[in-house]
Amino acid sequence: MTAPTKPPHGTAADSPSERAPGEPLHSPVIDWFDEHARDLPWRRPEAGAWGVMVSEFMLQQTPVNRVLPVYEQWMARWPRPADLAAEAPGEAVRAWGRLGYPRRALRLHGAAVAITERHGGDVPSDHAQLLALPGIGEYTAAAVASFAYGQRHAVLDTNVRRVFARAVAGTQYPPNATTAAERRLARALLPEDAATAARWAAASMELGALVCTAKNEACHRCPIAAQCAWRLAGKPAHDGPPRRGQTYAGTDRQVRGRLLAVLREAHGPVPQAALDRVWHEPVQRARALDGLVSDGLVEPMPGGLYRLPLT
């Protein structure tokens, strides 16, 4: 996520009844962001649209502190989409390291190839063209258009959804999956001015990441605490469907990670015996390896050998 150039916050409406729904929230949140935003490499002007896109792929379900070193190495090696597109997709998987969900690496490689072939190596600014790239969903297209190009889009990640759920809807947590009602609310809260809307998207996301967190929210540091519907209601406990917890130990994800670690560290094809040593349970190990092959993350070779994908 990057921070667009600071625009004017806009002028107040003639009367409270004429105000846009989100107007009372915009200035305090953006002012807070101007003072407290983290200095992250993808927010700097030199990152460009490609740096923003890379960060958005890496930050999905992965915290900033784990992304930072991988991002820096990635951008040093592949500063443009064409640089990545020229490499085998397996190199993207190798460089992904232990970020998790490695299919993101293949999708980012596929997007780099498409950008190189369709757009002359430049990340497109048009939202529809971004959405047409492989591996790009609604969130990523909106985030790149907003953060890289200063456009007016509703950017709904987990942090933003939580801020809106509490501040506006008065609930502790948003639904497990993004709903049409949340998208309507996000669009209603957007500032009319594109540059301000882009700044608002970055600011509300940062507020959710640093202050309005999932646990131990810091309401005393929140710039909109006085307006927060959830706080004003006495912070009622979540009464919706159970929150989904993330487990890792003992799962197929853990086995897949161990198998990929062997392949990433190898300089050539790896025999089946080397993979067999990473996990004691043969049925789960075989299932995890089959899944990696099915996902295109691993290529089987004659003679019981395996490697990262070359094509």
Q: Which residues of 54-64 are buried (b: 16+ CB within 10 A; e: fewer)?
A: bbbbbbbebee
Residue with tokens 């190596």: 121
Q: Which residues of 170-207 are buried (b: 16+ CB within 10 A; e: fewer)?
A: bbbbbeeebeeebeebbeebbbebbbbbbbbbbbbbbb
Per the structure block, which two tokens stand in for 272?
A: 């089946």
For 304: left if phi > 0, alpha if psi spans -120 to 50, otherwise beta; the answer is left
Amino acid found at 265: E
For the question of residue 299 being annotated catalytic, the response is no
Cα separation, 212 vs 218, whole angstroms: 6
DSSP 8-state class, residue 212: S
Cα separation, 74 vs 187, whole angstroms: 33
The answer to whether the CB of 207 falls within 8 A of the CB of 38 is no
State the helix-helix crossing angle for 194-210 and 23-36, rounded to 10 degrees. Answer: 70
From 23, 46, 56, 281, active-site residue: 56
- Give all strands (DSSP E) within 161-216, no chain letters: none
* 63: nearest Cα among 71, 51, 75, 73: 71
How many CB atoms are located within 10 Å of the residue 140 CB? 23
Q: What order of strands is seen across the sheet that includes strand 299-301? A: 270-271, 305-307, 299-301
Q: Annotated active-site positions, please? A: 56
